């Protein structure tokens, strides 16, 4: 296990009480296997950090972009959603410092991404508790708000299905369609594979736990395949 102090240095925050950061990196499952652990898990800090994150990002967008509310709302959602936060957590190396159960440590799929996103919010909560609003704001500006340029350039604030339809009509004057290509697993844990088609051309496939999820993933893959992002 890497030292928590090393992580604090890497995110450029000098904690007065390093236990705030340690708690932010403690998943509930870790407590089940380590009964003598003296700190709490990170869910309360996550709750706090989520609110601070949303306020800072809202304030940033409000003061820097004169766009209407609907557009700013979409941009904010793209900046603070779980996928974005998990990606930023990956860049910061958060996973190396997470305390979790052996079972959680083995899961590297969607559940891990969810856990990383929650840890990011908890880290923001920890910085806010230890350093105050201005330090939390600086961390968010340096690591989250900075992603706005990529979001606007790639139009990743748009739902992939909407964007794929917009682009396919613009370039080919065709409205895409989606077909289920396969499904697997028991009723309580279904997986769907969906294809996105332009007329009879299968452009790309996507997999998901629902047909809608698979359609979004297919559209995102289609945008990449066509070079439209």
Query: What residues are labeled active site?
Result: 50, 121
Sign of the dihedral defined by the CA atoms of residues 197, 202, 203, 205, in that order: positive
Alpha carbons 119 and 3: distance in angstroms, whole number? 17
Counting Cβ atoms within 10 Å, is residue 139 exposed (0-12), middle (13-18) or buried (19+)?
Answer: buried
Alpha carbon separation from 184 to 18, 110, 111, 207 (Å, rounded): 46, 18, 19, 11
- 35 DSSP assignment: T
Alpha carbons 25 and 2: distance in angstroms, whole number? 12
The token duo for 121 is: 């919010």
- Where is 179: in which H helix or E strand? strand 177-184
The pairing of strands 177-184 and 201-208 is: unpaired
């Amino acid at each position: 296990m890497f030292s928590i102090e090393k992580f604090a240095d890497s995110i450029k925050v000098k904690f007065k009480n390093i236990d705030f950061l340690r708690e932010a990196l403690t998943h509930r499952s870790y407590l089940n296997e380590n009964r003598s652990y003296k700190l709490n898990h990170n869910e309360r800090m996550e709750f706090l950090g989520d609110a601070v994150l949303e306020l800072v990002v809202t304030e940033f967008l409000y003061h820097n972009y004169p766009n209407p509310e609907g557009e700013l709302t979409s941009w904010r959602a793209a900046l603070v959603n779980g996928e974005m936060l998990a990606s930023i957590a990956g860049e910061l190396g958060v996973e190396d410092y997470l305390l979790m159960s052996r079972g959680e440590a083995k899961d590297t799929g969607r559940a891990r991404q969810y856990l990383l996103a929650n840890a990011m919010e908890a880290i923001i909560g920890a910085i806010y508790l230890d350093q105050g609003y201005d330090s939390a704001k600086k961390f968010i500006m340096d690591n989250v708000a900075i992603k706005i340029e990529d979001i606007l350039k790639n139009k990743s604030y748009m739902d992939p299905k909407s964007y794929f339809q917009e682009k396919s009509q613009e370039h080919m004057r065709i409205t895409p369609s989606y077909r289920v290509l396969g499904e697997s697993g028991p009723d309580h844990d279904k997986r769907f594979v969906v294809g996105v088609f332009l007329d009879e051309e299968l452009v790309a496939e996507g997999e998901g736990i629902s047909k809608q999820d698979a359609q979004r993933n297919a559209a995102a893959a289609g945008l990449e395949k066509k070079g439209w992002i």
